[in-house]
Amino acid sequence: MTGEVLVTGAAGFIGGHLAAACRRAGFTVTALDPAPSGEESTAADGVVPATAGDAGLLADVRAGRYRAVLHQGGISSTLETDRDLLRAVNVDEPLALAEACAAAGTPFAYASSHSVYGTIRGRFAVVEEDVADPDRCTGPLNDYAWSKLTLDQEMTARFGDDAPWSGYRYTNVFGTGEERKGSMASIISQLLRQAATGVPLRLFADTLEACRDYVPVETVVDTLLDVIRQPPPPGVYNLGSGVPVSFATLLGWCGELRGEDGLAVHLVPNPVSGRYQYWTCADQSRTGAVLPRARGLAVEEVRSAAHRLYRTFAGATAQPVP
């Protein structure tokens, strides 16, 4: 397999994994990220310090230099409240990239977010991409989610079926390399790391039965590699495991991994109960129909990935997996 691909956000968690996987698959990779030199190194070697809106980059894309453009960059903090900044980085820059890709006929895939759905009203098993019923979901609960939904909507309105583009609403992606994200790391990674290092786990007291859709970063990367090989029909797709895992279940996994060392858990009041997502689970049927490796996972596969991540945190001291 040959060809050059552009990966933006390559100094980040998913982008770093993706750039490395593209190289292993035989692609030449241009890895791009605006992160200044001096920040932590990532899995993506040779990252070019530039933004997705760089004029020279857009000219190369428009000229057809790349086999595919995989946009993983942008502001990922759910605490960011500057809508002008979010609009510029999370909406305008990817739209400019998409315009350049459309001019060249280059497949363009970008990272959206499952957070666009907001709170699901009641325990619906899954959430489909076209859900817009306010009786079922609230829509974005923060400005970050607003920016992602805005991009999805503007991509659909601007390009429709006239260009090879696709957006992926990631659920809770987890895996190695999240440590640099600090409080923005997935909650499953935070809890596994705390358990592995003997730090007491802190959870909101009303969330033990709350469920999350956790997806290993390897599943995301494999799916995007398939997008390069065979781009799906234009549109927005969910990308998760399709498996809801409760915090109680996750605590059970941590406990069995800790074994005789035991697990300390502190339950604290939830100060954001009115804006808390107590249920997230992606409907993978539309994605799986066109990208077979994204049909969803069994809960045991999510558990195994969690165990592997725990072992990276615990190192040689980790307990054997039962």
Please write the tens of the pLDDT for every residue from 34-64.
875 444 444 446 788 888 899 999 999 999 9
Both tokens of residue 257? 């991994």
Judged against a pLDDT cut of 90, whether residue 70 lies above it is answered with: yes
pLDDT at 130: 77
pLDDT, tens digit, 9 for 90 and up, residues 210-241 = 999 999 999 999 999 999 999 999 999 999 99
Percent of the chain past pLDDT 70, that is, above it, reads 92
CB 94 within 8 Å of CB 71: yes
pLDDT at 1: 44
DSSP conformational letter for 278: -
- In sequence order, what E strands does the chain have? 4-8, 28-33, 48-49, 68-71, 108-113, 165-170, 172-174, 201-204, 211-216, 235-239, 244-246, 265-268
Other Cβ atoms less than 10 A from the Cβ of 91: the count is 22
- Domain locations along the chain: 4-245+272-317
Which of 66, 110, 117, 144 is labelled catalytic?
144
Beta strand 244-246 with 211-216: parallel, antiparallel or unpaired?
A: antiparallel
**C-alpha radius of gyration, the chain, whole number:** 19
> Collapsing DSSP states into helix, strand and coil, what is residue 125?
coil
Percent of the chain past pLDDT 90, that is, above it, reads 75
Both tokens of residue 304? 């195994």
Average pLDDT over residues 68-86: 95
Average pLDDT over residues 165-178: 96
pLDDT at 125: 54
Both tokens of residue 9? 């956000």
Both tokens of residue 306? 């969690």
pLDDT at 104: 97
**What confidence category does residue 152 fall into, taking pLDDT thresholds of 50, 70 and 90?**
very high
User: Full-prediction pTM beyond 0.75?
Assistant: yes
Does the annotation mark 310 as catalytic?
no
pLDDT, tens digit, 9 for 90 and up, residues 262-294 = 899 999 999 988 778 888 899 999 999 999 999
CB 166 within 8 Å of CB 290: no
Characterize 159-191 residue by residue with b for buried, 16 or more Cβ atoms within 10 angstroms of its Cβ, and e for exposed.
beeebbbbbbbbbbbbbbbbeeeeeebbbbbbb
pLDDT at 316: 37
**Mean of the per-residue pLDDT values for the chain?**
90
CB 278 within 8 Å of CB 211: yes
Residue identified by tokens 């894309």 is 61
Beta strand 265-268 with 4-8: parallel, antiparallel or unpaired?
A: unpaired
CA distances from 116 to 32, 102, 112, 142 (A): 26, 25, 8, 9
Does the annotation mark 66 as catalytic?
no
Half-sphere exposure of 267 (CA within 13 A, CB side): 8
pLDDT at 122: 64
Other Cβ atoms less than 10 A from the Cβ of 220: the count is 25
Contacts of 20 (CB under 8 A, 6+ apart): 43, 44
Judged against a pLDDT cut of 90, whether residue 184 lies above it is answered with: no
Lowest-pLDDT range of 1-5, 119-123, 142-146, 226-230? 119-123
> Collapsing DSSP states into helix, strand and coil, what is residue 152?
helix
Average pLDDT over residues 127-153: 86
pLDDT at 120: 78
Judged against a pLDDT cut of 50, whether residue 198 lies above it is answered with: yes
Distance, in Å, from the CA atom of 107 to the CA atom of 97, rounded to the nearest integer, reads 11
Q: Tell me which fold the domain 4-245+272-317 belongs to.
A: Rossmann fold (3.40.50)
CA 35, 65, 107, 4 torsion-angle sign = negative
